Amino acid sequence: MSMVPSNVRNGLKTNLTTITGLRCFDIIPDSVPLPAAVVGQLDLVFDTSMARGLDTAEIEILLIVGRMSERAGQNKLDGYLAGSGSSSIKAAIEADKTLGGACSTLRVTTATAGTITNAGADMLAYRYQVEVIG
């Protein structure tokens, strides 16, 4: 299998869409309605196996929840960060580890706290790293 980046990003977006209320993008939008997840670009390492069988990709997914001052934003974030449950980003992405056949397997490896400025305001954000093999 050789991954097609657009299919991988589409697949991640499709999996994330199962979280109620979360807006998902596989392209970087000009403005972001919140809460939102933006699937980034693939960092590829080729030739994980012989004969162009497998490549490995790292993809960043940016989760933007809301203004840092909002308690509601923090509460939502707790649900997204959980390892399981209907709002869990990790559980949603790993619900279909082949992304409908776009890859062989994947794993959400890390979620790192941070902020992002959106429309002039500091927003609560998390950067998820996803390792994709295919």
Nearest Cα residue to 17 out of 59, 61, 58, 57: 61
Q: Which of 61, 59, 71, 60 is nearest to 124 (CA)?
A: 71
Chain contacts with another protein (rule: CB under 8 A):
1, 47-54, 105, 107, 109, 133
CA distance linking residue 52 with residue 54, whole number of Å: 6
Choice between 67 and 107, CB closer to another protein: 107
For residue 88, the one-letter residue type is: S
Query: Quick one: 17 or 49, whose CB is closer to another protein?
Result: 49
Least gap, CB of 90 to another protein (angstroms): 13
Closest CB 102 distance from another protein, rounded Å: 16
Q: Closest distance between another protein and the C-beta of residue 73, in Å?
A: 30
